[in-house]
């Protein structure tokens, strides 16, 4: 019976270490995700600004 308890305890402790290691490996993933979203938003805004600027310049040429 003692052997089973020792094996269970070792299994739990090993599992906890694996969970802690997995948690450490994912640290910073939220920051990376935020940076990628920020870059995507900046790119989209840049495209929209370029399109609006182009449209306004083409329409300004039609003013007499």
Global pTM? 0.53
The token pair that represents 56 in the structure block: 């306004």
Q: Return the closest-CA partner of residue 36 out of 44, 25, 26.
A: 44
- Residue 22: is its pLDDT beyond 60? no
**pLDDT surpassing 90 at residue 7:** no
* 25-63 pLDDT per residue, tens: 666 677 888 999 999 999 999 999 999 999 999 999 888
**Residue 19 scores a pLDDT above 60:** no
Spatial separation of the C-alpha atoms in residues 60 and 2, rounded to whole Å: 88
* Encoded tokens for 4: 């089973």
Q: What is the pLDDT of residue 30?
A: 79
Q: What is the DSSP letter of 1?
A: -
């Amino acid at each position: 019976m003692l052997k089973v308890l020792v094996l269970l305890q070792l299994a739990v402790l090993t599992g906890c270490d694996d969970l802690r290691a997995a948690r450490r490996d994912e640290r910073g993933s939220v920051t990376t995700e935020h940076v990628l979203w920020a870059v995507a938003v900046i790119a989209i805004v840049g495209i929209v600004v370029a399109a609006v600027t182009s449209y306004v310049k083409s329409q300004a040429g039609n003013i007499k």
